[in-house]
Chain A
Amino acid sequence: MAILNITYNGLSADYPVPLDDKIADRDVRRIAVELVRSGGVPGLQIANLSERAFDNYVIDRFGPRAGQRIYLRPKVPFGAGARR
């Protein structure tokens, strides 16, 4: 069992989910969209949440494989990139 933490719309909530420890990032994002749509995450229900709501989010994983904590948070890099 893993604990998935989702931060969205000013709220941060934990949700215990039976996830494979090797679950891909894209699948974590997809599951998070479904959880938020269905109201599975306490205090965070958005029925019409976009499929792409978490496209610009990253996943941090902590702890042992069993009981892993998975954080879905917004990415925060900035950068000028190559000069235009």
Chain B
Amino acid sequence: MHQGEVCFLIGRGGAILWSDASNSAVLLPDSRARWEAIWERRAELEEIAHSHPLGPRAFSSEDETTMEALTSALGRPLRFSVVAPEGMIARQEGRNVRVGEEPWWAALLRLASGMTRARPRPRAGRPRAPRRR
């Protein structure tokens, strides 16, 4: 399956306001169209989400500088998030938080990115005793 990074602009009530995609699984290049979409929808924009189809569940240095630029341009903080195979992380009020209960559109973002959700690793602990027959 083809994998590519995807960006969603999310508005009130979790509405998807706009989206675009890349042919690369590790890069969503700069785009004037994306910036215009953000600026035109700034009044209703609440979150900018993008995917890392190959991981990691973390903001990259490129993400960090883009978030900084957008926050200064819009003059108000937004929520930013990354959806990765192993889960979702969000930057809200300057802090990174793991998103436990993912919004409805995270599954759609994964699907559009050609990504499947990684199964959680089994917890380390005492090995179970074999069943008796």
Chain A interface residues (CB < 8 Å from chain B): 7-12, 53, 56-58, 60, 73-84
Determine the chain A residues whose CB is within 8 A of the CB of B65 once the complex forms.
Answer: 56, 75
- Give the B interface residue count (CB, 8 A): 36
Measured in the bound complex, the distance between the Cα atoms of B63 and A80 in whole Å is: 8
Contact B5 A79 (CB under 8 A): yes
Residues of chain A lying within 8 A (CB to CB) of residue B35: 73-74, 76
Q: A80 CA to B35 CA in the complex, in Å?
A: 19
List of B residues within 8 angstroms of A79 by Cβ:
5, 24, 26-28, 60, 62-63
Given A75-B69, A80-B27, A80-B54, 9 more contacts at CB 8 Å? A9-B72, A10-B76, A58-B30, A75-B30, A75-B66, A78-B62, A78-B66, A79-B63, A80-B60
**Residue B55 CB within 8 A of the other chain:** yes
Please determine whether A76 and B26 come into contact, CB atoms closer than 8 angstroms: no
Please report the C-alpha to C-alpha distance between residue A11 and residue B54 in the assembled complex, in whole angstroms: 36
